[in-house]
Amino acid sequence: MGLLVIIFIQASFYALLGLGYVLIYRATRVLNLAHGDLMVFGAYLFLQTLIETGGNVPLAIVLGLAGSALLGVIVYEGVLRPLAGYPVAVGVLATIALGIVLRSLTTVIWSGQTRYPAEYIGELGRPIPVFAGLSVSVIDALIILVAAASMIVLPILLQRAAVGVSMRAVAENALLASQRRINIHRVNALSWALATGMAGIAGVFFSLKVRLGPDIWYVGLAGFAPALIGGMDSLRGAAVGAVIVAAAEVLAARFIAPQIALAAPFLVLLVALWIRPWGLYGSREELERI
Amino acid sequence: MSFLPGTLHTRYRDEVRLLDSGFMRFWCAAGLFAALITPLALSNFWTGIANQSLIAIVGALALNLLMGVTGQISLGHAGFLAAGAFTAAALATHFNAPIVVSLVCAMIGGALIGVLVGLPALRLKGLYLAVSTLAAHFVIVVGLGQYQNAASDGAGFAMPPPSAFGFSISTERQWFYALLPVAIVVLLIQINWLRSEFGRAWMAIHHRDVSAEVLGINVARYKLYAFSASTALTCLCGALSAYHTGFVSVDAFDVHLLIQYLAMVIIGGLGSLLGAILGAIFVIVTPHLITVAANAMSPLQGMGGKIFEIEIGLFGVIMLIFLVLEPRGLAGIWARVSAYFLLWPFKFRAWES
Amino acid sequence: MTIGRPVATASIAACLAVAFAASAAAQTAFKIGISGAATGPASPSYLPHIEGIRTYIEQLNDKGGVNGAKIDVIYLDDKAAPSEAASNAKKLMDDENVLAVGLMSLSSTYAPVFQAASRTGTPVLLLGQAVCPANASTPQMNPLVFCGGSTSDPMTAGYWQVPLVKAIADKNRDELKLALVAADIPISRQGIDNMEQIARKLGIDVVDKQAIPPASADVSGAAARIIASGATYVTSWAPVTTAVQMLGALRRQGWQGWYIHNHSGDAEATLRQLKDPKLVMSPEYAFTVEKLPVFSEIETAAKKYAVNVPVDSLSLGWASGMMLEEALKKCGTGCTKEKLVETLNGLNVMTARIYPDAVKWSKEDHTRPASFTAYVWDQKSGAVKRITDWARVRNGELATVKVID
């Protein structure tokens, strides 16, 4: 039972990242290799707010979220928008370069020293025994809640809200959507803001649970696997993929060997690509593009 | 090549020539002359950078062949470079092989690896192909890492100073005069390939391989040719860099190296030979220019230890600026500039040429 | 024309004289090279030491340098990669012809640097937290390599850390069931295997051994296994991030035992951040809580010279600066590489008690005598506290640990 909860906590973290990858892919058709660095930047904004306000956690989370979202808009307008229409390899290299810049920026501003934001949240991080030897902290519960909320809100947004329908239109055929008077740049900016906002929250949770340093950007890379497994253009797929990858990682670490835990997401990815290259819920045409 | 107005050929022989006008012949000769006197004008350190650029040009042309011309996404470049470097290291360490033998063996080995990697790649496209070439990279690198642990106790291999045709190559200047003909020959080979049936087949495959198959091109066979040609040249690049650096260790062949070469072909301009050359020079030289600029503007005081991180970040910023402002790359900039001068005072040509 | 000529000649002569004097003055500067991991994943362990030595040398140069001659240092980043270190070594030793090279990076960068050193006759000083190669006190040692860095290596760490664990357990009168934690890299696993051997020889009950992948996001599985084995004490010889992850996972699952770790560049800061009363760090240098006079010197200099790392991690770099100053002072004017090697072979310098013992090298032994101690976070006083005396650690001998208070 306890194992299930741990899997869900890990899955929530992966879901937040994976949903971000999918949103960005649907909007700008590019694999965002800077997602991990965007996540780290959001976490650092969170830490800085904690330091400045002396431990005001809700404000710090809000500012971390808002800052990440704003960064996403800036990245879209500054980097991806000028590159619309060019070969995808150019966009991917641009995200790689962006990742390099963000990593250097965070190291210059905050130094490469490892930080532990958990020291500012005091009791909130303390595990509360729930049952049968399992302890869950408020932070763990929060991450499950946030991930679940996104998985409920996003589909509703896409189905009902006008802006959501626009997002779906742009994802399906951007050219046609632009000719139907949908402001695709505003829609894409919104997608990016949502994606990076979720990444920022994921970063906040990771930094509270484990540690914060410019070197944890690789964790963002692991979020790429659930997105691919579920299908790069399917939000539902990202959620399902997150559960699969998290289960594989936790179970492999617990019952085979801890060393596999790092490779588990990528191993699952290779197997999934072998069986079903376009992902569980992805569309076949996407396979042709990078 | 004959884009100057007034260049009229009257013989087939003139059509086929590489340098078919006085203008081209003059400027190529001038360029060759400039290249030959470069080491005399530069310091030892900068000649070393020039040598690194020449080696990178070989590697970038190879990657351009696969990615730009044939359209096959290959993320295994760093692994192939490692294969070439380790072939040279193993031959030098265990057999005391002369450099020429090492280079030839590296190329042959590269061609074989290219076929091995290309065979499963025949059915793959796009993201799927990228992931499998990346897997090939990891397989090669992990395997070579084990070899390094076994053969050198993990410390890596020192390369002996090479000597070819009776000349020993130890100073940077000697390296330059040894590498320059190699780079030129590789460039000429590439130009020849692109103008031949291979190049036409590759470009057709890039455009739409279904149509190419319909036109009678054996897509599988030409894809394999592309893979093995590209990998052979990549292994040559790896072997050359092994001798030039003087030290081979598997840690040097990581994802960073792959990103460097991807940057070379993309910033240079995908699909163009000039782009690969310019991109290679750009990626190798720019970080050193940044260091020089940083040292000139603010010595370590005031920046402290941050300067190293800032230099890395600045390179990323420059890459971003180039990509965003000119997605067609340096070759695209060159095309725009040369078109401006060629068409002046007109703004555009009234017909397509 | 008639009056211009003597004026012109005089001014040309004056210019030449000034140029000659300037170049003569420049020639008395000592040229040193430093190659270190200033960026990249290993940088948090090595950049503080680079900054430390930079701060020391800058304040030394501002005071006039070594006997009036400034030390001209070239800093190069090797990103902890052997190939970068190889090209740095070529640049420093061949192009710049430095007197000596200070190396502050991972041990994988040693091979190419040592080769270049042997080729050019340049002495190499391993400084900061750079580990000493295993053969540095044997006849096979490289005569140009001097160990001024960490003496904690996988084969000898156990001779200090295991007695430390036992001493703490005895003091607390706890039943000692020991679990060992390593990072899944060869050097860490070696350290833990060696510790296991030593522990078993001492009759300690070793109940579990875990190796954690260095980049894992969640170690609760390994932590659960350690708790299930009934361990009361856990010790690790690994990068500090592994220890912190493991400790966090253990505490989250309700484990209340003692965690003893080796040390790293920001060990003191980690103790202060985590505030865990049962986390012990065991360094071979003094933490700033000792309030030695040298620490306030470091603090002033750090503020003056724009240091980007926490002040309490600069001590080892500062000590390295002291070693370098003493060596260059003894070498004197007209110092050459050969003369410097001779000087280093007879060096004996105190580092203002940052290292408790003097740094002493001889022709046969290029290692540095080492003493270790242990620090913990004391909740009552709200500060880091030392809990043992300084214990000399000699190769192959178990250290005698005395827990104070």
Residues of C in contact with A209 (CB under 8 A): 248
- Which among A260-264, B26-30, B82-86, B290-294 has the top mean pLDDT? B82-86
pLDDT of C32 above 60: yes
How far apart CA C43 and CA C53 sit, in angstroms, is 15
pLDDT of amino acid B285: 94
Q: Do A108 and B263 touch (CB under 8 A)?
A: no
Instruction: Kindly state the average pLDDT of the residues C23-37.
Output: 74
Q: Is A97 in Cβ contact with B320 (below 8 Å)?
A: yes
- Give me the pLDDT at residue A258, please: 65
Residue C166's closest CA among C371, C395, C336, C400? Answer: C400
- Looking at beta carbons, which residues of chain A come within 8 Å of B324? 78-79, 82-83, 94
Nearest to C273 among A10, A119, A133 (CB): A119
Query: Which of these, C325, C385, C386, lies nearest to C350 by C-alpha position?
Result: C325
* Tens digits of residue pLDDT in A98-147: 999 999 999 888 887 778 887 777 766 666 776 666 677 788 888 889 99
As a whole-number percent, the residues of chain A with pLDDT over 70 amount to 91
Considering only CB atoms, C87 lies closest to which of B245, B308, B309, namely: B245
- Across the interface, of C95, C111, C305, the residue whose CB is closest to B304 is C305
| pLDDT tens figures, B38-47 | 988 888 888 8
At the topology level of CATH, where does C158-287+372-393 sit? Rossmann fold (3.40.50)
Picking from A32-41, A226-235, B181-190, which range would have the lowest pLDDT averaged per residue?
A226-235
Q: Specify whether the CB–CB gap between C360 and C367 falls below 8 A.
A: no
pLDDT at B4: 59
Q: How far is C151 from chain B (nearest CA, A)?
A: 20
Q: Is the pLDDT of residue B215 over 60?
A: yes
- Does B127 touch chain A if contact means CB atoms closer than 8 Å? yes
Q: How many CB atoms lie within 10 A of CB C358?
A: 12
A46 pLDDT more than 60: yes
pTM: 0.84
Q: Provide the residue ranges of all domains of chain B, joining segments of one domain with +.
A: 21-253, 255-353
pLDDT of residue C212: 82
Binary contact (C51, B304; C-beta < 8 A): yes
Q: Kindly determine whether residue C218 and residue A137, on different chains, have CB atoms separated by under 8 Å.
A: no
- Cβ of C305 within 8 Å of Cβ of B301? The answer is yes
Quickly state the pLDDT bin for B200 (edges 50, 70, 90). Answer: very high
Instruction: Give the pLDDT score at A125.
Output: 65
Return the pLDDT at A31. Answer: 85
For B27-86, how does the pLDDT look when each residue is reduced to its tens digit (9 = 90+)?
Answer: 899 999 999 999 888 888 888 889 999 999 999 999 999 999 998 889 999 999 999 999
Query: How far apart are alpha carbons C214 and C216 in whole angstroms?
Result: 6
Whether residue B249 and residue C307 make contact (CB cut-off 8 A), yes or no, is no
Tally C-beta pairs within 8 A across A and B: 89
Say yes or no for a CB contact (<8 Å) between C95 and B45: yes
Say whether A218 and C211 touch across the interface (CB within 8 A). Answer: no
- The predicted pLDDT at position A44 comes to 94
Q: Given a cut of 80, is residue B161 above it in pLDDT?
A: yes
3-class DSSP assignment, residue A136: strand
Subunits in contact with chain A (3 or more CB pairs closer than 8 Å): B, C
How would you classify residue C337: left for phi > 0, otherwise alpha for psi between -120 and 50, otherwise beta?
alpha
**By the 8 A CB rule, do C221 and C249 touch?**
no
Structure tokens at C241: 């991030």
B177 vs C402, more confident: B177
pLDDT higher than threshold 60 for residue C8: no
Q: Nearest chain B Cα to C115, which residue?
A: B158
Q: Locate all alpha helices (DSSP H) within B250-326, ordered by sequence.
A: 255-268, 273-297, 306-325
Element containing residue B157 per DSSP (H, E): strand B157-158
Residues B279 and B67: their CA atoms lie apart, in Å, by: 14
Provide the pLDDT for residue C26. 45
Is the C-alpha dihedral spanning A123, A125, A130, A133 positive or negative?
negative
Q: Is ipTM beyond 0.90? A: no
Which band of pLDDT confidence, cut at 50, 70 and 90, is reported for residue B279? very high
Name the percent of chain C lying above pLDDT 70: 91
Find the residue in B nearest to A110 (Cα). B306
Question: What pLDDT is recorded for position B2?
Answer: 47
Residues of chain B with Cβ-Cβ distance to C77 below 8 Å are 308
CATH superfamily of C25-151+289-369: Response regulator (3.40.50.2300)
Looking at every residue in chain B, the average pLDDT score rounds to 88
Nearest Cα residue to A5 out of A149, A125, A143, A134: A134
The structural domains of chain A, ordered by start, are 2-288 (1.10.3470)
Eight-state DSSP code of residue A285: G
Tokens of A206: 């990771």
Residue C397 scores a pLDDT above 80? no
Q: Which of C172-176, C272-276, C337-341, C371-375 has the lowest mean pLDDT?
A: C272-276
Cβ pair C112:B305 closer than 8 A: no
Q: What average pLDDT does the segment B311-325 reach?
A: 91
Range from A120-134, C132-146, C361-375 that averages highest in pLDDT: C361-375
Say whether residue C277 is in contact with chain A using an 8 A CB cutoff: no
> Three-state SS across chain C?
CCCHHHHHHHHHHHHHHHHHHHHHHHHCCEEEEEEECCCCCCHHHHHHHHHHHHHHHHHHHHCCCECCECEEEEEEECCCCHHHHHHHHHHHHHHCCCCEEEEECCHHHHHHHHHHHHHHCCCEEECCCCECCCCCCCCCCCCCEEECCECCCCCCCHHHHHHHHHHHHHHHCCCCEEEEEEECCHHHHHHHHHHHHHHHHCCCEEEEEEEECCCCCCCHHHHHHHHHCCCCEEEECCCHHHHHHHHHHHHHCCCCCEEEECCCCCHHHHHHHHCCCCEEECCCCCCHHHCCHHHHHHHHHHHHCCCCCCHHHCHHHHHHHHHHHHHHHHHCCCCCHHHHHHHHHCCEECCCCCCCCCEECCCCCCCCCEEECCEEEECCCCEEEECECCEEECCCCCCCCCECC
